[in-house]
């Protein structure tokens, strides 16, 4: 609180939010009042802080921020020291001069790149050219978008991926791009390379009873599928090689999942995964099914009743569904892995081994083994 008081004493026209993570108001520099909004998400630390100000002063203030961070600033320094540093800058209110020339060169460079790409690939472009949304259309007629952030030192600094609806593995390739053009070319190549993966995922979504994710997106690689009463299967595809056997986990009471586990293990040993067949066909064969169960009105509603018996909700904030079930057939209570692990960890006598913890079912007292975190 002392730090807050000191700031308010020195800068009485700055008004903080209740959590002191946002400061809005006016600071005086060389007898001129400058409206500012300062974000300090880690207050009192200046980690990840940012400042908004009038457009005609933005470059000078941002340069002052960079100078303070890398030349003057220290880990002990806080918002008060930074504001005093701004007040001391003699060049803060001076015309930008060469900076205007620098901005012109930067904008000209970016605009030429976008023109070479073609206007059909540019969705939106913010006035300061710091954020661009690009798009491409795949062979199925589906539009894919790429949000690009452009640093002030571009083209020396690399463009940044701000928004993309693709599997996470794509970010590594996109992050290697040295220019907007190179990033867009990589993006188009990735769209082409993921076509088979997206077709396989769409086939699973259309021909199974998929309960997670609730609203599948192109970036999703996993799907949780109902395969029997109180039994589901978590399938995680490899977007870079969708024809190989995916990662498969069975979720449900042990007495209900054992038949599916045995069938799959036996078929994998005797027949194996057939890379000439689709993922859907392979799974049906390995599970010994004629086809996957399909939801109807009543059964779909019943599936939604498997809420967690600890937090009494179906989905957590990260959209995770309850995936641990008590093996006691008279109980069959569902739990989120996170909820159950936290419940067990609150009891000092519960035993842990590697990444597992065991404890009594909160509902019936049956012993349950639970991962300490989701894998």
pLDDT digit string, tens, across residues 17-39: 878 888 887 887 766 777 878 88
Query: CATH 3.30.70: does it fit domain 2-88?
Result: no
CB atoms within 10 A of CB 226: 22
Tell me which of 29-38, 62-71, 218-227, 264-273 is least confident: 62-71
CATH 3.30.40.10: which residues of the chain? 308-371
Domain boundaries 308-371, corresponding CATH code:
3.30.40.10
Its pTM stands at 0.62
Using pLDDT thresholds of 50, 70 and 90, give the confidence band for residue 236. Answer: very high
| Tokens representing residue 270 in the block | 């005797």
**Lowest mean pLDDT across 43-52, 65-74, 182-191, 192-201:** 65-74
CB atoms within 10 A of CB 207: 16
Q: Which has the closest alpha carbon to 201: 226, 218, 225?
A: 218
What mean pLDDT comes out for the span 97-115? 71
Architecture of domain 99-193: Roll (3.10)
- 197-301 CATH pick, 3.40.50.300, 3.20.20.80, 3.90.550.50, 3.10.110.20: 3.10.110.20
pLDDT over 60 (residue 49): yes
From-to residues of CATH 3.10.110.20 in the chain:
197-301
Q: Please, which residues bridge with residue 368 across strands?
A: 359
How confident is the prediction for the chain on average, in pLDDT? 83
Tell me which residue has tokens 């998929």: 210
**Mean pLDDT score, 83-105:** 60
Question: Residue 363, Cβ neighbours under 10 Å: how many?
Answer: 16
């Amino acid at each position: 609180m002392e730090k807050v008081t000191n700031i308010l004493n020195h800068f009485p026209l700055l008004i903080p939010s209740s959590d002191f993570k946002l400061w809005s108001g006016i600071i005086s520099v060389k007898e001129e009042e400058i409206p500012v909004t300062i974000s300090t998400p880690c207050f009192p630390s200046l980690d990840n802080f940012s400042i908004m100000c009038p457009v005609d002063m933005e470059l000078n203030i941002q340069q002052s921020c960079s100078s303070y961070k890398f030349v003057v600033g220290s880990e002990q320094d806080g918002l008060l020291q930074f504001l005093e540093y701004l007040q001391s800058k003699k060049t803060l209110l001076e015309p930008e001069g060469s900076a205007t020339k620098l901005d012109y060169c930067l904008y000209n460079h970016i605009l030429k790149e976008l023109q070479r790409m073609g206007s059909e690939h540019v969705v939106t472009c913010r006035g300061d050219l710091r954020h661009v949304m690009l798009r491409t259309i795949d062979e199925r007629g589906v539009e894919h978008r790429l949000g690009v952030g452009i640093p002030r030192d571009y083209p020396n600094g690399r463009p940044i991926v701000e928004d993309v609806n693709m599997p996470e593995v794509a970010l590594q390739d996109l992050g290697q791009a040295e220019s907007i053009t190179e990033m867009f070319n990589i993006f188009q190549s990735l769209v082409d390379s993921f076509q088979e993966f997206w077709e396989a995922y769409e086939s699973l979504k259309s021909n199974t009873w998929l309960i997670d994710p609730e609203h599948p997106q192109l970036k999703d690689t996993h799907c949780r599928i109902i395969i029997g009463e109180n039994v589901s299967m978590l399938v995680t595809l490899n977007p870079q090689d969708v024809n190989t056997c995916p990662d498969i986990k069975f979720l449900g009471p042990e007495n209900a999942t054992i038949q599916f586990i045995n069938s799959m293990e036996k078929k994998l040993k005797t027949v194996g995964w057939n890379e000439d067949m689709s993922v859907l066909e392979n799974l049906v064969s390995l599970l010994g099914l004629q086809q996957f169960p399909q939801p109807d009105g009543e059964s779909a509603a019943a599936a939604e009743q498997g809420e967690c018996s600890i937090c009494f909700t179906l989905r957590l904030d990260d959209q995770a569904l309850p995936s641990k079930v008590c093996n006691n057939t008279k109980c069959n209570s569902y739990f989120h892995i996170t909820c159950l692990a936290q419940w067990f960890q609150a009891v000092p006598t519960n035993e842990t081994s590697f990444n597992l913890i065991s404890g009594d079912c909160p509902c019936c007292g049956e012993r349950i083994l639970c991962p300490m975190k989701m894998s």
